[in-house]
């Protein structure tokens, strides 16, 4: 595979630690926490720390080098901050087009809409549901990120009142949506310091929108459905006008036009990442909620289903921010899980620290179980034990981040490892019994484990959600 790297690319990947090192103070002062400047430069190139950690570099005498480094490390896609105060959302900041080239930064932000003609209690309840949406996944909490406030009334006063209502009820960043600058301005007046994302400048209103963005210091979305040339022209115009923070909306078509949508997103991202086209180097917005247009007569579940899979395709194909309408958990769950997947760092296996974990307040008669240190396995098992409020010991075996079944198949999970882990953990001093519950998927190791560890093996369930039932039957009433 080597030797085929892309030669002409503007490049984050070709950047070598030496390039960075040359511009650093080179005093090896260790203020950044690294042993020397070269180690720091390596971390900079890998995007593991920010350049600002080098305090001397921020001094006046290094101003030129600092600026040069900033330019050198600039992502292909500009990072835009939406919102103010505690809860801001960062979008864009992408360094690469393909995930395997480095890592995707700043997960696709998901905004849920409310409209200024919705009854007040509906608006409040939608905001509550967005705020309360949470799903635990491998030790992360998956959440929704923003509220998109749409003016369906086209009435400035109504919009103003609605934006005020939203701002009073949530700290989540907002997207203010209206193509009418007067309406948008009324909304901005209700939350002048909130730095919402404005939606949207078009070929007809770009000037007024630019003025609003400058006056209130807000990022601005540029919209040109299925017209990348116009989108780029508008971006050029707005940049020259002085608006620095743009978001590009190439148009999201469901059904007819889906091919154009994917092509537009892909072409724009490629132009920015591979050709260094700075006018297209802004975050991309997808609007899966366009599926609700012309949906009269269709069952709601079908529309929600379409919205969910359109969002998934856009998460895979370069969207940095999405506006959605459905708030159904079954529809949103696959999208937030997909987002978490695509935005994990491909350079690091998803693993947790091996060792003995204690749940609740176990005593000398409490059950002892084991699992692997693959993060997904561990957190799944841990959450099942926690939610059942079980007092137990869980031994986490180092399987180099593989799951139970693949660990057994690939010899990363062996009886030797289990026996050794039992010994090292000190569990023999904590419980007076000598029984270990092993995952059902590791059943074939049971004989060997008994032999090597001297512990009696109980083969547990194949899925950890069955642990409470298993313990009830086999531990409490043996």
Position of tokens 């921020």? 58
Do residues 80 and 92 touch, judged by C-beta distance below 8 A?
yes
Select the residue interacting with other proteins from 81, 90, 189, 305 (CB under 8 A).
305
37-66 residues near other proteins, rule: CB under 8 A? none
List, in order, residues 6 or more apart from 248 with CB less than 8 Å away. Answer: 221, 222, 231, 235, 268, 280, 282, 283, 284, 285
Burial code of 139-177, b = ≥16 C-beta within 10 A, e = fewer? eeebebbbbbbbbeeebbebbbbbbebbbeebebbbbbb
115-174 residues near other proteins, rule: CB under 8 A? 115, 117, 135, 137, 150-152, 154
78-107 residues near other proteins, rule: CB under 8 A? 97-102
Q: How far is the CB of 55 from other proteins (least distance, A)?
A: 29
Do residues 247 and 197 touch, judged by C-beta distance below 8 A?
yes
State yes or no: residue 403 binds other proteins (CB under 8 A): yes
Cα–Cα distance measured from residue 369 to residue 364, given in angstroms and rounded to the nearest whole number: 14
Q: How far is the CB of 272 from other proteins (least distance, A)?
A: 9
Could you give the 3-state DSSP secondary structure of residue 168? Answer: helix
**Regarding beta strands 392-397 and 135-137, do their DSSP bridges make them parallel or antiparallel, or are they unpaired?**
unpaired
Q: For the chain, give the number of residues.
A: 478
181-220 residues near other proteins, rule: CB under 8 A? 199-200, 202-203, 206-207, 210
Q: How far is the CB of 467 from other proteins (least distance, A)?
A: 10
Select the residue interacting with other proteins from 241, 360, 391, 434 (CB under 8 A).
241
Q: How far is the CB of 291 from other proteins (least distance, A)?
A: 9
List, in order, residues 6 or more apart from 319 with CB less than 8 Å away. Answer: 108, 265, 284, 285, 286
DSSP string, 200-269: EE-TTTHHHHHHHHHHHT--EEEE-TT-HHHHHHHHHHHHHHT---EEEE-----STTHHHHHHHHHHHH
Select the residue interacting with other proteins from 226, 383, 391, 446 (CB under 8 A).
226
State yes or no: residue 275 binds other proteins (CB under 8 A): yes
CA-closest candidate to residue 454, choices 413, 420, 405, 404: 420
State yes or no: residue 15 binds other proteins (CB under 8 A): no
Select the residue interacting with other proteins from 43, 90, 164, 270 (CB under 8 A).
270
State yes or no: residue 237 binds other proteins (CB under 8 A): yes
Q: How far is the CB of 30 from other proteins (least distance, A)?
A: 28
Q: How far is the CB of 424 from other proteins (least distance, A)?
A: 24
413-442 residues near other proteins, rule: CB under 8 A? 441
342-371 residues near other proteins, rule: CB under 8 A? 342, 344, 346-349
Select the residue interacting with other proteins from 123, 220, 287, 368 (CB under 8 A).
287
Q: How far is the CB of 66 from other proteins (least distance, A)?
A: 18
Q: How far is the CB of 152 from other proteins (least distance, A)?
A: 5
Report CA-CA distances (Å) from 288 to 83, 113, 229, 303, 437: 22, 11, 22, 10, 46
State yes or no: residue 221 binds other proteins (CB under 8 A): no
List, in order, residues 6 or more apart from 43 with CB less than 8 Å away. Answer: 34, 49
- CB nearer to other proteins: pick between 195 and 325: 325
- CB nearer to other proteins: pick between 28 and 125: 125
- CB nearer to other proteins: pick between 131 and 277: 277
Select the residue interacting with other proteins from 84, 333, 443, 459 (CB under 8 A).
333
């Amino acid at each position: 595979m080597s030797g085929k790297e892309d030669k002409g690319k503007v490049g984050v990947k070709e950047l070598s630690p030496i390039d960075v090192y040359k511009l650093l103070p080179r005093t090896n002062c260790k203020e950044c926490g690294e042993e020397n400047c070269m180690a720091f430069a390596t971390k900079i190139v890998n995007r593991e720390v920010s350049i600002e950690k080098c305090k001397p570099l921020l001094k006046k005498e290094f101003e030129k080098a600092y600026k040069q480094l900033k330019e050198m490390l600039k992502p292909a896609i500009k990072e835009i901050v939406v919102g103010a105060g505690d809860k801001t959302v960062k979008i864009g900041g992408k360094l690469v087009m393909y995930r395997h080239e480095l890592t995707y930064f700043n997960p696709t932000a998901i905004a849920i809409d409310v409209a200024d003609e919705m009854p007040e209690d509906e608006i409040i309840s939608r905001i509550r549901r967005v705020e309360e949406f949470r799903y635990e996944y491998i030790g992360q909490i998956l959440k929704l990120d923003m509220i998109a406030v749409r003016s369906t009334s086209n009435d400035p006063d109504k919009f103003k009142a609605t934006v005020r209502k939203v701002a009073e009820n949530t700290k989540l960043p907002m997207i203010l949506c209206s193509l009418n600058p007067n309406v948008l301005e009324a909304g901005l007046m209700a939350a002048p310091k909130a730095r919402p994302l404005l939606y949207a400048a078009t070929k007809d209103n770009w000037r007024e929108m630019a003025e609003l963005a400058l006056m209130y210091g807000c990022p601005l979305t540029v919209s040109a459905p299925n017209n990348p040339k116009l989108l780029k022209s508008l971006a050029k115009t707005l940049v020259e006008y002085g608006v620095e923070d743009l978001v590009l909306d190439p148009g999201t078509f469901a059904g007819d036009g889906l091919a154009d949508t994917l092509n537009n997103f892909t072409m724009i991202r490629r132009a920015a990442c591979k050709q260094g086209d700075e006018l297209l180097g802004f975050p991309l917005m997808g609007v899966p909620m366009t599926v609700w247009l012309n949906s009269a007569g269709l069952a709601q579940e079908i529309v929600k289903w379409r919205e969910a899979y359109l969002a998934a395709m856009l998460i895979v194909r370069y969207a940095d921010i999405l506006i959605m309408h459905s708030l159904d958990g079954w529809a949103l769950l696959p999208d937030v899980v997909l987002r978490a997947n695509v935005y994990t760092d491909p350079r690091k296996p998803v693993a947790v620290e091996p060792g003995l974990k204690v749940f609740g307040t176990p005593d000398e008669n409490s059950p002892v179980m084991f699992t692997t240190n693959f993060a997904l396995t561990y957190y799944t098992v841990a959450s099942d034990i926690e939610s059942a409020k079980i007092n137990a010991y869980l031994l986490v075996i180092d399987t180099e981040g593989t799951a139970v079944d693949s660990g057994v198949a690939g010899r990363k999970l062996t009886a030797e490892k289990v026996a050794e882990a039992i010994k090292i953990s000190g569990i023999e001093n904590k419980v007076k019994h000598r029984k270990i519950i092993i995952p059902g998927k590791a059943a074939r190791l049971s004989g060997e484990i008994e032999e090597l560890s001297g512990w009696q093996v109980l083969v547990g369930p194949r899925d950890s959600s069955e642990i409470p039932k298993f313990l009830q039957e086999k531990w409490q009433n043996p």
